[in-house]
Amino acid sequence: MKYFFVVLLMLLMTGCKKEYEFWNLSKFNIDDTALNDGEEIKLLYTSNGPDENLEQKYYIHLVVVSQRSKDTVNILTTSKNFLDGKSGSKTFNYYKENSLISKITQSVLNGEDIKHIDDLKNVDHKDITKVARDVKFDYIADNNFPTVIGMIGKTSSN
């Protein structure tokens, strides 16, 4: 079963022809309580996008399984730089959009100079209203799972 998810993830990330469309954010069932900050998750699916999303114009759609509750949850994030074909076999942590880790990451991505922890109070998240969609994988991505907004990362303990 573990290998099935790894193979599925690799197929999803290496499709031959990329066709991108966008869903409106309102399509997703936003539920801030679906995952706890720092909760361990396993990645099942990730959408791609037409570019690297450096300007953070859209969300990238992840489908994950909580390692605590075993629930399937959507995560909307702006970056997936460290994900690769082997990511399906790794355990990641979810971080809420307004967590300290997310604010630090957002500041770095925005090129801001952080000199003191108080500088993070003014970090604004962009008003993003669309989600990248790989139409060839709607059978996975088009779901009614609860959705959170944030980022995933890997800690040294997992």
- For residue 79, the number of C-alpha atoms closer than 13 Å in the C-beta half-sphere is 16
Q: pLDDT band at residue 105, thresholds of 50, 70 and 90?
A: low
Higher per-residue pLDDT: 20 or 70: 70
149: nearest Cα among 84, 88, 60, 40:
60
Q: Which pTM was predicted?
A: 0.79
**Distances from the Cα of 7 to the Cαs of 39, 58, 89, 138, in angstroms?**
24, 27, 10, 18
**How many C-beta neighbours within 10 Å does residue 15 have?**
12
Token duo for residue 50: 């037409």
DSSP state of 45: E
Q: Tell the residue number behind the tokens 């040294």, with chain if given.
A: 156
Token duo for residue 36: 């706890």
Measure the CA–CA gap between 103 and 5, rounded to whole angstroms: 31
Checking DSSP bridges between strand 146-153 and strand 29-30, what pairing results, if any? Answer: parallel
SS3 of 12, please?
helix
The answer to whether the beta carbons of residues 22 and 131 sit under 8 Å apart is yes
Q: What is the pLDDT of residues 82-100, one digit of tens each?
A: 776 777 778 899 999 877 7
Measure the CA–CA gap between 52 and 22, rounded to whole angstroms: 15
The answer to whether the beta carbons of residues 120 and 113 sit under 8 Å apart is no
Q: What is the arithmetic mean of pLDDT over 124-134?
A: 85
Q: What is the pLDDT of residues 40-81, one digit of tens each?
A: 999 999 998 888 887 889 999 999 999 999 999 999 998 876
Which pLDDT value is given to residue 126? Answer: 72
